[in-house]
Amino acid sequence: MRLKRKDILGIEDLTPDELERILATAESFKEVSAREIKKVPTLRGKTVINLFYEPSTRTRTSFEIAAKRMSADAVNISVSTSSVVKGETLKDTAKNLEAMRPDCIVVRHSSSGTPHMLAKYVGCSVINAGDGAHEHPSQALLDMLTVKEKKGRIEGLKVAIIGDITHSRVARSNIYGFTKLGAEVTVAGPPTMLPPGIENLGCKATSDVEAALKGADVIMMLRIQLERQKESLFPTLREYSRFYGLNESKLKGAKDDVIILHPGPINRGVEISSEVADGPYSLILDQVTNGVAVRMALFYLLLGAAREDAVV
Amino acid sequence: MNRLVIKGGRLVDPASGVDGIYNIYIMGGRIASIKKADTDTSEIIPGSPGLDIIDAENLLVIPGLIDLHTHLREPGYEYKETIQSGTRAAAAGGFTTILCMANTRPVNDSESVTSYIKKKAAEEGSGVNVLPIGALSPGQKGERLTEIGELKAAGCAAISDDGVPVEDPGLMRRALEYSKAFKMPVISHAEDAHLAGSGVMNEGVVATRLGLKGIPNAAEDMIVARDISLAELTGGRLHIAHVSTKGAVELIRAAKKRGVNVTAEATPHHLTLTDEAVIGYDTNTKMNPPLRSMEDVEALRAGLKDGTIDCVATDHAPHSTIEKDVEFDKASNGIIGLETAFSLIYGLVEEGVLTLSEAVKAMSTNPAKAIGIDKGSLRVGFPADITIIDLNRSWTVEASRLKSKSKNSPWLGKTLKGVVVNTIVGGNVIYKA
Amino acid sequence: MKNKVVMDEKGIDRALARIAHEILERNKGTEKLVILGIPTRGYQLAIKLQEKIEQFEGVKLPVGAVDATLYRDDLGIKKDQPSLKKMEIPISIDGKKIIMVDDVLFTGRTIRAAMNALMDFGRPLSIQLAVLVDRGHRELPIKADYVGKNIPTSIKEGVKVHLKEIDGASEVIVEPAPEIKQ
């Protein structure tokens, strides 16, 4: 049952079989969170360091709760500056953390690839909690779990991911995840927000949102960041909202039982209208609940057995 | 007077069209004569006073390698490289002459900095000829011209604001125009800073996969086009540094056809690696211009073959761990290249991309021509700047054996063919493997 | 050596009937009783006990599953972590008499883990243990209240319970110790 890997750095590296295994395990862990006593002793004595170089209440809290429900000790380290500013190399940082003998480092960083570099420097497990515009594997897993619960399957579903694909790690991880499990993924956004060669990740790409939404079973709306306006990736929020935002009228092309996911926090009235956000298709809160279960599953599968190199 | 004889090696000198087994006689630091190895050698008596003999049997003997593009980092960044360590690395790489870029601290924009570099090189250097490149504008600020005449008089071989692209076409025009009087080539780091933006690698599929910001080829192409136009307008002497794109190769090829006075260089890494090397986020694959696509690499190779790209230049850019063992997008651009350059280009010979003669041409003959110095050939009367190489031996790139103070190389751990056995400058052996 | 069948389908059924009677007798009826099986086969046996008791007494007792995996004491030393099974506590266990059911009682470690798991769900009045087979070799001070059959074994032998619903046929077999190759 164990994942034959030290780290979870991206969905790109995972096989469909591994994805299924993580999702199945996460389903079991949902029960633990539903209990009165939401704690199991499984990872007693293990130490998890949450190393966050980027502010993130949601993801950090979710990892922290997941670790604590498994009885692991979770330590949060928030770093406001990159190693360059501190005058310390990433290797120094890694070696210092490793000297504290953690079993797992959960890392969030605004620079793509930082978890990969860290994983090379430390012997313990590394979980990528979001790196730059690269990947956010636990988010994609919780999205997949949510969809699987609601739709009973992932294979054969039509998934539309709408918004700033270029800067979205959530989009990349979900493209990999959903396509690996047999869904058909279409990404859509302004041409300035569709990175070159995105189709090579296994999805279709279009700037026609309505085309992307046609017949969709799942819609994933990405958060739009205001500062992209300064880079001229879109002219105004008003125009963005009109052509790329999700509202009741655009939703008509999707399947009747379409579900809507959003990695949060929502810009109401921009990428998603309030009526849609509060509508019956929105699963934003299920996503949060599933986030804890998925992260417990990752901890269990990475840390729940003796290390490969352990003497038994 | 000391004499040196290099006996029985395979001499390849593209400038004089020679490729054969020769004995080379050196006297007073210059080539005295070159004779076929099968001619009478009775005058070479081992043990004669003042006579040194190098047995070059089964070895390659070529005019000393010339690098138009290194960063020696001194003054100002001695923790990355010094003139001493950099020139030792150059000697170990088979280079006999190197040009060092102006982006030191202070910037080499005046006679005094140039003199400092020359003096240091004479006192502490390995013996490699060091020709500084003067800044094009004071402080590389891109505002006005430096004293190009004075820089030339102090020993500079070219001018460039390398690393900081000249943004103002007006200034570039004046530089190309004014430098004509002093026969100083203007080296252009062709990059549109606005278009490159905060990109950290080649724009394309790999960047999309890795979630890294891309730099499009157009950022280079448009400035190459601009500078060619300006060279055409002014009749100035333009040299394009580290060409990385197919578009730039095509522009330069067309310009040469029209008779524009332009030369160009490409680095060993742009000739051998693609942006796929960035997968894994090794910061030793981060450089500017970035590693490009296979299509670009193929265009560069074709350009080097047909002479569109005149020279191979290393863009040797030492950085310490504090600049490299950090987040990919925060890491400094550049890699060291002096010690791996020949082996990598010889790899192209092994692959059948270049002939050995073409490789030597790109690394010695043409760089000398590009800056107008009497080097790059082993003809009677020329300075005895010679590199001897064992093409049959391989070596493994290990941090501990690199002479450069910095170890930022993407080839660490790799085994390369072609070992530099001797580097000779002015008849003196300055490096021996 | 070959596997030895020590209980057949009828034998298993008889043993379960007896255990059902013993449970009713010891607890003076069905009041406050909850049956919880340890997946996978313990849970199946729990369902069978529920059926028997309903036959005898006309009362359908609540039945559930208690997965001990996350409470095991050998996770950190096993090379591979077991997959999670079903955890299903149908009602509040506070003040209830829990009949915990497993197929084979061996070292007692699984029962320890299951009791710990149970404690996280509340405070039962009592926990009683019913097993189909007790094969000895306890490593913890744990004793079954209801035993289908005591089967003395050597520690190297294997004891397997097969149930129709899961394995296609119901029987208890003893596997010989693996032969040491010369």
DSSP at B361: I
- Check if the beta carbon of residue B250 is closer than 8 Å to that of residue B274: no
User: Looking at residue A82, what is its pLDDT?
Assistant: 61
Q: Inspect the interface and report whether the beta carbons of A301 and C81 lie closer than 8 Å.
A: yes
Three-class SS state of A15: coil
Q: Inspect the interface and report whether the beta carbons of A196 and B208 lie closer than 8 Å.
A: yes
Given a cut of 80, whether residue A309 has pLDDT beyond it is: no
Name the residues of B annotated as catalytic: 315
Q: Which residue of C has its CA nearest to A307?
A: C79
Kindly list the domain boundaries of chain B, sorted by start residue. 3-61+382-432, 65-371
Q: Inspect the interface and report whether the beta carbons of A201 and B208 lie closer than 8 Å.
A: yes
Q: Inspect the interface and report whether the beta carbons of C75 and A305 lie closer than 8 Å.
A: yes
Kindly give the confidence (pLDDT) of every residue in chain B, 433 residues in length, as a single tens digit, with 9 standing for 90 and above. Answer: 578 999 999 999 999 999 999 999 999 999 999 999 887 777 777 777 788 999 999 999 999 999 999 999 999 999 999 999 999 999 999 999 999 999 999 999 999 999 999 999 999 999 999 999 999 999 999 999 999 999 999 999 999 999 999 999 999 999 999 999 999 999 999 999 999 999 999 999 999 999 999 999 999 999 999 999 999 999 999 999 999 999 999 999 999 999 999 999 999 999 999 999 999 999 999 999 999 999 999 999 999 999 999 999 999 999 999 999 999 999 999 999 999 999 999 999 999 999 999 999 999 999 999 999 999 999 999 999 999 999 999 999 999 999 999 999 999 999 999 999 999 999 999 999 9
Chain B residues inside the 8 Å CB shell of A112: 210-212, 281, 328-329
User: Looking at residue B223, what is its pLDDT?
Assistant: 98
Per-residue model confidence as pLDDT tens digits over C26-72: 999 999 999 999 999 999 999 999 999 999 999 999 999 999 999 98
Decide whether B3-61+382-432 matches B65-371 in CATH topology: no
Q: What are phi and psi of B353, to 5 degrees?
A: -75, -45
Q: Inspect the interface and report whether the beta carbons of C79 and A36 lie closer than 8 Å.
A: no
The closest alpha carbon to C60, from C51, C70, C72, belongs to C51
- Check if the beta carbon of residue A48 is closer than 8 Å to that of residue A103: yes
User: Looking at residue B364, what is its pLDDT?
Assistant: 98
Chain A residues inside the 8 Å CB shell of C120: 35-37, 39-40
Calpha distance B371→B61 (Å, rounded): 23
Per-residue burial over B245-280, b if 16 or more Cβ lie within 10 Å, else e, is: bbbbbebbbebbeeebbbbbbbbbbbbbbbbebbee
> How would you classify the pairing of strands C33-37 and C4-7?
unpaired
- Least trusted range by pLDDT, from A14-28, A260-274, C128-142: A260-274
User: CATH topology for B65-371?
Assistant: TIM Barrel (3.20.20)
Calpha distance C5→B1 (Å, rounded): 104
Q: What are phi and psi of A67, to 5 degrees?
A: -65, -45
User: Looking at residue A255, what is its pLDDT?
Assistant: 95
Per-residue model confidence as pLDDT tens digits over A141-155: 999 999 999 999 999
List for chain A the helix, strand, coil content (%; round to 5): 45, 15, 40
Starting at the edge strand that comes first in sequence, how are the strands of the sheet with A125-131 ordered?
A73-78, A47-52, A104-109, A125-131
Those chains having 3 or more beta-carbon pairs within 8 angstroms of chain A are: B, C
Any A CB within 8 A of C83 CB: yes
- Check if the beta carbon of residue B208 is closer than 8 Å to that of residue A133: no
List, as ranges, residues 114-143 from A with C-beta within 8 Å of B: 114, 116-117, 131-135
User: Looking at residue A297, what is its pLDDT?
Assistant: 96
Amino acid at residue number A9 = L
Given a cut of 50, whether residue A43 has pLDDT beyond it is: yes
Calpha distance B426→B430 (Å, rounded): 9
- Check if the beta carbon of residue B224 is closer than 8 Å to that of residue B240: yes
DSSP at A246: B
* DSSP bridge partners of B40: none
Instruction: Please state, as a whole number, how many other Cβ atoms lie within 10 Å of the Cβ of residue A109.
Output: 26
The torsion angle over the Cα atoms of residues B164, A193, A141 and A307, rounded to 10 degrees, is -10
Who's near B276: CB < 8 A, 6+ residues apart?
B206
Per-residue model confidence as pLDDT tens digits over C166-175: 999 999 999 9
**Domain at B3-61+382-432: CATH architecture:** Roll (2.30)
The torsion angle over the Cα atoms of residues A204, A210, A214 and A216, rounded to 10 degrees, is 70
The interface predicted TM-score (ipTM) is: 0.93
Taking the alpha carbons at both ends of chain A, their separation in whole angstroms is: 18
Q: Inspect the interface and report whether the beta carbons of A196 and B214 lie closer than 8 Å.
A: yes
User: Looking at residue A312, what is its pLDDT?
Assistant: 34
* DSSP bridge partners of B262: B238
Cα-only R_g, chain B: 21
User: Looking at residue A310, what is its pLDDT?
Assistant: 42
In B129-226, which ranges are E strands?
A: 129-134, 158-160, 186-188, 201-202, 214-215
Chain C residues inside the 8 Å CB shell of A301: 81
Instruction: Please state, as a whole number, how many other Cβ atoms lie within 10 Å of the Cβ of residue A73.
Output: 15
Q: Which of C77, C82, C84 sits opposite A306 (nearest CB)?
A: C77
- Say how many CA atoms lie within 13 Å of B343 toward its Cβ: 22
Given a cut of 90, whether residue A79 has pLDDT beyond it is: no
Chain B residues inside the 8 Å CB shell of A86: none
Cα-only R_g, chain A: 19
Q: How far is A19 from chain B (nearest CA, A)?
A: 19
Given a cut of 80, whether residue C127 has pLDDT beyond it is: yes
Those chains having 3 or more beta-carbon pairs within 8 angstroms of chain C are: A
Any A CB within 8 A of C109 CB: no
User: Looking at residue A1, what is its pLDDT?
Assistant: 55
Given a cut of 60, whether residue A264 has pLDDT beyond it is: yes
Calpha distance A109→A112 (Å, rounded): 7
Report the share of chain C in percent with pLDDT over 70.
Answer: 98
pTM to 2 decimal places? 0.91
Q: How far is A165 from chain B (nearest CA, A)?
A: 10
Those chains having 3 or more beta-carbon pairs within 8 angstroms of chain B are: A
Q: How far is B322 from chain A (nearest CA, A)?
A: 5
Any A CB within 8 A of C70 CB: yes
Q: Which of A31, A304, A306 sits opposite C87 (nearest CB)?
A: A31
pLDDT (average), residues A194-216: 96
Three-class SS state of B382: coil
